[in-house]
Structure 1
Amino acid sequence: MIKLILLGAVFVAVAVAAYIRLAPSDPARWHEDPRLVSRPTTPNFHLIRMVGGDAMPQVFQMAPDALAARLDEVARADGATLLAGSVQSGHMTYVTRTPWMGYPDYTSVLIEPAGAGAMLLAFARARFGRSDLGNNRARLERWIAQLDRPALTD
C-alpha cells in the first residue's frame, strides 16, 4: 500500500512539473502594456513606469528603434524567447524560464521616445506561485545594465 501511495505521489509530481514546463502561453493574456497594467496583489513582479511603478524608467541616448533592437538582443542572449509583439513596434513580451523546474516568467516591455532618446517601460511577472525570490527585478536590472554596452557580436 505504501508503494502505491509513493508511486501515486511521484506520478502527481511529474504531472505537475510537466504542466509547468509545457503549459501553453497565451499571448492575448500575457502581452500587456506596462503603462496600463494594474499592480498585482502578489509580490512576484517588478514594474517600471512613470507613475505607480517600483522604479522610474531610465532615458537612453539612442533612438527608440535602436533601443528596441538592443533590448531584443540582450533579452535573447539571456535566454528569453519572444512571445508577442515585435521589435518594430517597440512593444514586446518575452518568456524566460527557471533552469530547473522551467517556471515561466513574462516580461512585457514598451519603448517610448523621451526627448532625443528613448525610455523603457517594463512589467515582469511570474506565472505560478506567490514569490519569485526577486528574479523578475534582477532580470530587468540585468537587461537594463547591458543596454548601454556595445552590441554583442558573433
Structure 2
Amino acid sequence: MPRLRVVVAWILIGSTVLIAGTVVLIGRDRLLEITLGKVEYSPVIFSELIRSDRPNSYLLCPDSFCIAHSDRNSPIFQMPVSILKLRCSEIIEGQRRIAKLSTSSDGLQVDYVQRSAIFRFPDTITVRYVSIDAKHSALAIFSRSHYGRGDLGVNRSRIEGWLSELTAP
C-alpha cells in the first residue's frame, strides 16, 4: 500500500508539472480554446434573440423590446440615452478582467468579454442603450457564459451589480 501512494503521488506531481508547463507555453486562453472549443462571438439583435435552454445567461430588456423572455425588465432612467451610455460605460469599463470587443455603427450597442479570475472562462455581455424619448432611456443587456451549463448566478450578479451602481444616489 505505501508503494501505491508513492506511485499516485508521482503521477499527481507529473500531471501538475505537465499542466503548468502547457499553460506557460501556450497560455491559458489558448488552452481553454483547445480543450473546450473556440468561442464564437455573434452579434445580438435583441428583437430577434432566441435564448438557449442552458441556464447560464441573464437577459435584461425594456418592455416589448425583446422577443425572448427577459429575466428582468429594465428600469426607465430619467436621463437621455447619451448620459446613460456615459455613466454605464464608466461602470462597465471599471470592472476587472473586462475588454470591449466591438461597438455598433450607431454607437448604441457594445459587446464586452469578461473573464473569470482563476480559469479565465469568457462571458460575453452585449449592452444596448435604448432611447425612450429625449429625457428617458433604458438598457437591454444580454450576459452569457460560453462554457458549461450553469454559471452559479454570475451573469445575474454582474447585471444586478451594474444596475445597483447605476441607480445609486
Q: Does 1:119 align with 2:133?
A: no
Q: Does 1:44 align with 2:48?
A: no
Q: Corresponding residue for 1:78?
A: 95
Unaligned runs of 5+ in 2: 1-6
1:96 corresponds, among 111, 114, 133, to 114
CA shift, 1:132, in A, is: 0.6
Relative to the length of structure 1, the TM-score reads 0.79
Amino acid aligned to 2:45 = D
Relative to the length of structure 2, the TM-score reads 0.73
Q: Does the CA contact (< 8 Å) of 1:48 and 1:55 recur in 2?
A: yes
Q: Corresponding residue for 2:18?
A: 11
Mapped to 1, the partners of 2:76 and 2:22 lie a distance apart of 45
Q: Does the CA contact (< 8 Å) of 1:33 and 1:108 recur in 2?
A: no
- Tell me the percent identity: 25
Mapped to 2, the partners of 1:10 and 1:62 lie a distance apart of 55
* Cα displacement string for residues 20-76 of structure 1 (whole angstroms, at most 9, x for unaligned residues): 2898765xx244233322111110000112352111111111111111111111001
Mapped to 2, the partners of 1:97 and 1:87 lie a distance apart of 25
Summarize the alignment of residues 102-113 of structure 1 with structure 2, pairs less than 5 Å apart.
Answer: 102-113=120-131
Equivalences, count = 148
Q: Does the CA contact (< 8 Å) of 1:64 and 1:119 recur in 2?
A: yes
More helix by share: 2
**Larger RCO of the pair (alpha carbons < 8 Å, separation 6+):** 1
* Cα displacement string for residues 82-105 of structure 1 (whole angstroms, at most 9, x for unaligned residues): 111169611001111111111111
Q: Does the CA contact (< 8 Å) of 1:35 and 1:121 recur in 2?
A: no
Q: Corresponding residue for 2:47?
A: 35
Mapped to 2, the partners of 1:112 and 1:101 lie a distance apart of 34
Larger Rg: 1 or 2? 2
Unaligned runs of 5+ in 1: none
CA RMSD of aligned residues (A): 3.0
After TM superposition, what 4+ stretches of structure 1 lie above 2 angstroms from structure 2?
1-26, 33-36
